Amino acid sequence: MTDYTQNGRRRVVITGIGAVTPLGNDAETSWQNLIAGKSGAAPIVQWDASEYPVTFACELKEFDPRTWIDHKQARRMDRFAQMIVAAARQAEVDSGLDVEAEAERIGASIATGIGGLKAFQDCYEVLLERGPDRVNPFSIPQIIPNMGAAWVSMELGTRGPLSSQCTACAASNMAIGEAADMIRLGRADVVFAGGTEAGITPVGIAGFSAMRALARRNDEPERASRPFDAERSGFVMGEAGGVIVLEDLEHARARGAKLYAELIGYGLSSDAAHVTEPDPSGANPARAMRMAFGDAGIEPEEVDYINAHGTSTPLGDASETKVIKLALGDEAAAKTPVSSTKGATGHCLGASGAVEAIFTTMAVNTDTLPPTINYETPDPECDLDYIPNESRKAEVKVAVSNSFGFGGHNACIVIRELAD
Active site residues: 169, 309, 347
Residues for the chain: how many in total?
A: 420
What is the distance of C-alpha 96 from the center of its chain?
A: 23
| Cα 364 to Cα 10: distance, rounded to the nearest angstrom | 21
Measured CA to CA, the distance from residue 238 to residue 342 in angstroms comes to 9
Q: Which residues of 109-135 are buried (b: 16+ CB within 10 A; e: fewer)?
A: bbbbbbbbbbbbebbeebeeeeeeeee
Q: Within the chain, how many helices (H) and strands (E) appear?
A: 14, 16
Distance of CA 119 to the CA centre of its chain: 22
Burial of residue 207 (CB within 10 Å: 0-12, 13-18, 19+) is middle
Contact indicator for 64, 70 with CB cutoff of 8 Å:
no
| Burial (CB count <10 Å: 0-12, 13-18, 19+), residue 50 | exposed
